[in-house]
Amino acid sequence: MLLKIAFIRHLAIGNGLIMAINWETFERYRQKGLDARRAGQWDSARVYLLEAARAIVAISKDAQTPELRAARQEMAEKLLALAKDCEKAKANHRRPQTAPRRDDSSSGGQSESDNEGVPSGEQWLVQEKPDIKFADVSGLDGVKEDIRLKLIYPFEHPELAAKFGVRAGGGLLLYGPPGTGKTMLAKATAGEIDAAFFRVSPADIMSKWPGEAERRIKGLFEAARAAPKAIIFIDEIESLIPRRGDDTSSVMQRLVPQILQEMEGFDKKANQPVMFMGATNVPWQLDPAVLRPGRFDEKVYIPLPDLPARRKMLEMYLSHRPIAADVNLDQLANDLAGYSGADIKYICDRSAVVPFLQSVASGQDGEQITQQIIMDVIHDTARSVLPELLKRFDEWAKSAANG
C-alpha cells in the first residue's frame, strides 16, 4: 500500500505567494536567520528564525516516528529561543559576533571583534573556483547563449574584444521565479571562463556599524579586481539595492550609491575584468538606478524549465536510484509542466522515500520507484510558482525594456 504524502502549504506574507514548506525551505530560513544574527541585524534575524521554527514544526507533522517528531520540535524550540535572544540583543544594543570566540585566557573569552570594538577583517569573503559548466545545468540553452554572446566571448577573446571596443565584464541581472537555477547558472558561468567566484549574501554585507557596509562593498570589489578574472554574485540583490523612498534607512541611503559607484568602475582595469551578477525573484523591488546603462547592462529572464529541461532533470535526479521498468520519463516530464527545478528535485526526492520506507518495513532491498509512486507525489505537490507571478514577470520585462 502506497504511503500518502502530506503536503503542507503556508502563505508567505512578504510576497503574497503560496509556497511549499519542505526541508529546503526550513534550511533557507534557518541559514538566513543565523547569517543576519551574526551580522547584528536583529530584526531580520528574528523574523527568519521564527519562519524557520514554523517551518520545522510543519515538517515535524510528517515525521515517521515519535522520536523524529520530538527532535524536530526540540529544534523549533531552540530557534524560538534564538529569536527571543535577538529581541534582547536589540534592546541591549549588543554588538554582532563576526569572529569565532577564542577560548584562550589572553582574550578573556571575548571575540576579536569585541576586543577591538568593531567587526574584524574580511572573514566573510570567500573565493571559490566552481567546477561546473553550462553542460551541468539542465535546459536554459537560450539563456546560456545570451550569456556567452554578451559576457563570456569577450573574456575568451580579449584581442578581438579590444579591437572592436567590446568591454569584458560588466553587470548581469538574472531574474525569474524562485527555484529556477539562478545560482547554479552563475557558478557555471564562472566555471566556463575559469574565473574566481565571490558568492556573497546581503547578510554578509550589512552591518550596524556606521560605514562598515560600505567598507565591505569596497573590499569585495577590490578583492575581485585583484583576480585575473572574477565574478561577484549576490543573490536577493534587491535586499542591497532596494527601491529608495522617503522611508529608506540611512544605511541604505549610503550603501546603494556605493554599490552603484563600484559597478560603474568595472572598466577601469581592462586587463582585470570583473563581472557582477545579481539574482532576484522580485526585480520590481530594485532601485531603478541600478538598471541604467553602465550598471546592469544585461537583464536575463530565467524561466521555468521547458519540456527538454524537465526530462533532463528527471534523468539527473533519478538515474542513480532504483527505478522500475514502467517509469516513463517522457510522460512525467510532460506532466511536470509549470513546476520549477526545485519542485522537480523535491518530487524526485520524495518519490525515493516511499520505496525506501517499504524496504525498511519489509526487510527486503528490492523495492523500486514506480511510475505510480511518482505520479502520486506529483498529485500531492502543488506548483510553487503561481501563474500570477509569471504574468508579473512578463509585465516587468516589458516595462524594463521600455525604460
DSSP string, 222-258: HHHHTSSSEEEEEESGGGTSBPP-TT--HHHHHHHHH
Residues 6+ apart with CB under 8 A from 21: 8, 9, 10, 55, 58, 59
Say how far apart CA 183 and CA 274 lie, in whole Å.
17
Note the pLDDT of residue 114.
35
Structure letter (DSSP) for residue 162? H
What pLDDT does residue 370 have?
94
Q: How confident is the model at residue 256 (pLDDT cuts 50, 70, 90)?
A: confident
Cα–Cα distance between 218 and 213 in angstroms, integer?
9
All cell numbers assigned to 6: 502530506
In the chain, DSSP finds a helix count (H) and a strand count (E) of 16, 8
DSSP state for residue 391 in the 8-state scheme: H
Could you give the strand order of the β-sheet that contains 196-200, starting from the edge strand earlier in sequence? 127-128, 196-200, 230-235, 274-280, 170-175, 298-301
Q: Which residue has the higher pLDDT, 277 or 92?
A: 277
Rounded Cα–Cα distance for residues 108 and 331 (Å)? 64
Per-residue pLDDT at 11: 30
Confirm if 182 and 124 have CB atoms less than 8 A apart: no
Residues found in the chain: 403
Strands 127-128 and 17-20: unpaired
The distance between the two most distant Cα atoms of the chain, rounded to a whole number of Å, is: 69
106/370: higher pLDDT: 370
Query: How far is Cα 356 from Cα 370, in angstroms, rounded to an integer?
Result: 12
Per-residue confidence band for 100, with pLDDT thresholds at 50, 70 and 90 = very low
Full DSSP string of 184-204 = HHHHHHHHHHT-EEEEE-HHH
CA 181 distance to own-chain centroid: 9
- Residue 18 has a pLDDT of 33
Instruction: Decide: helix, strand or coil at residue 172.
Output: strand
- What is the separation of C-alpha 80 from the centre of its chain, rounded to a whole number of angstroms? 24
Q: Indicate the SS3 state at residue 383.
A: coil
Q: What is the mean pLDDT of the chain?
A: 76
Give the pLDDT confidence score for residue 83 in this predicted structure.
86
C-beta of residue 300 within 8 angstroms of C-beta of residue 145: no
Taking residue 326's Cβ as centre, other Cβ atoms within 10 Å add up to 9
CA angle (310 as vertex; 399, 401 as ends), nearest 5: 10
pLDDT reported for residue 371: 95
In the block, which residue shows the cell 515517521? 64
Q: What is the pLDDT of residues 295-332, one digit of tens each?
A: 787 888 999 999 999 999 999 999 889 999 999 999 99
Predicted pLDDT of residue 82: 87
CA separation (Å) from 203 to 34, 198, 286? 9, 14, 17
> Regarding beta strands 17-20 and 9-12, do their DSSP bridges make them parallel or antiparallel, or are they unpaired?
antiparallel
Average pLDDT over residues 153-181: 84
Q: Where are the alpha helices (DSSP H) in 1-65?
A: 23-38, 42-60
Which structural domains are found in the chain, ordered by start? 9-95 (1.20.58), 127-303 (3.40.50.300), 307-384 (1.10.8.60)
- Least confident span in 88-97, 127-136, 218-227: 88-97
- In three-state secondary structure terms, 17 is strand
Instruction: Annotate 249-317 with DSSP letters as a single string.
Output: -HHHHHHHHHHHHHHHTGGG-TTS-EEEEEEES-GGGB-GGGGSTTSS-EEEE-----HHHHHHHHHHH
| Residue 20: pLDDT band with limits 50, 70, 90 | very low
Please say if the pLDDT value at position 116 is more than 50: no
d(CA 122, CA 128): 15
The CA-CA-CA angle for residues 236, 347, 357, to 5°, reads: 130
Question: Model-level pTM?
Answer: 0.65
pLDDT tens digits along 263-290: 765 555 555 567 888 999 889 988 888 8
Which grid cell is 207?
552591518
| CA dihedral sign, ordered 332, 335, 337, 340 | negative
Least confident of 94-98, 189-193, 239-243: 94-98
Q: Is the pLDDT of residue 254 over 50?
A: yes
